[in-house]
Amino acid sequence: MSRISKVRCTPQAQWAAALVAIMTQVSGQTVEAIDGNVFYKDPNERVRQLTFSKMDADPALSRDGKSVIFIRRTTRRASFEEPRNNQPVFTQVWVADSEGRGAHLVFGGPATDGAFKYASFSRPNFSPDGRHAYFLIPYAAVVNGLVRLDLSTHQARVISSAVTYEVITTGNYAGTLVVLKRKDYSEGATYSYYLIDAEGREIGVVGSSENQARSFAEDPNRHIP
């Protein structure tokens, strides 16, 4: 069973999805995936290869720069369909330290929401305290689902729909998330950036443009307009 939406993907949704950064940076440290392997660069620009599977993507650093979370592809096909793929292949969420040690699987899937199952994961990020992680699933034809993963129990649940998202790590509203949501009305669909808490509850609207969302996320003294 799969959640199939009949609405088409708009140019705005495609543009928003394209905002995903390949490289993430924390205090002069960066991680990126090259040819399916994760590489870490320290503040002195020394590069260290962390993984060697040639199956890894979407790395992100923890707030303290000591851990890296990433997605690993597998070759195992799922027995169910997804809204954008009728033959999905399982992906996994992995964590390693920035020294390249202790790489381990934290979630092998599938992610579930009621009767629906998802094997395709993307864009993982840590919560500021490192106790949880977030990642996206292909929830419907034009939007993703935002999943919250407890890193101690390995339990995952969908907390919100999302086109894309960003975790607020410092300052006002630390621990919340800025999420681009599509909402459908009789006259058509709208896209706006919302601030949500860690449970997925909406706190307020941040803005309707990427510039407004970026300004909000980068301002430690941020407030809801």
**Any idea what the CATH number is for the domain that residue 159 is in?**
2.120.10.30
- Cα 195 to Cα 165: distance, rounded to the nearest angstrom: 10
The string of pLDDT tens digits covering residues 180-200 is: 999 989 888 999 999 999 999
Instruction: Determine the 3-state secondary structure of 218 from DSSP.
Output: helix
The DSSP symbol for 85 reads B
Domains: count for the chain: 1
Of the candidates 130, 204, 128, 140, the one whose C-alpha atom is nearest the C-alpha of residue 166 is 128
Q: What is the pLDDT of residue 100?
A: 86
Task: Give residue 69's domain range.
Answer: 11-165
Judged against a pLDDT cut of 80, whether residue 148 lies above it is answered with yes
In a domain, 211, yes or no: no
- Cα 141 to Cα 178: distance, rounded to the nearest angstrom: 21
In a domain, 198, yes or no: no
The string of pLDDT tens digits covering residues 41-81 is: 999 999 999 999 999 999 999 999 999 999 999 999 999 99
Query: Which residue bears the tokens 């708009």?
Result: 10
In a domain, 108, yes or no: yes
Lowest mean pLDDT among 5-9, 201-205, 220-224: 5-9
Judged against a pLDDT cut of 80, whether residue 128 lies above it is answered with yes
pLDDT-derived band of residue 37, with 50, 70 and 90 as boundaries?
very high
In a domain, 205, yes or no: no
- Cα 195 to Cα 149: distance, rounded to the nearest angstrom: 19
Judged against a pLDDT cut of 60, whether residue 16 lies above it is answered with no
In a domain, 97, yes or no: yes
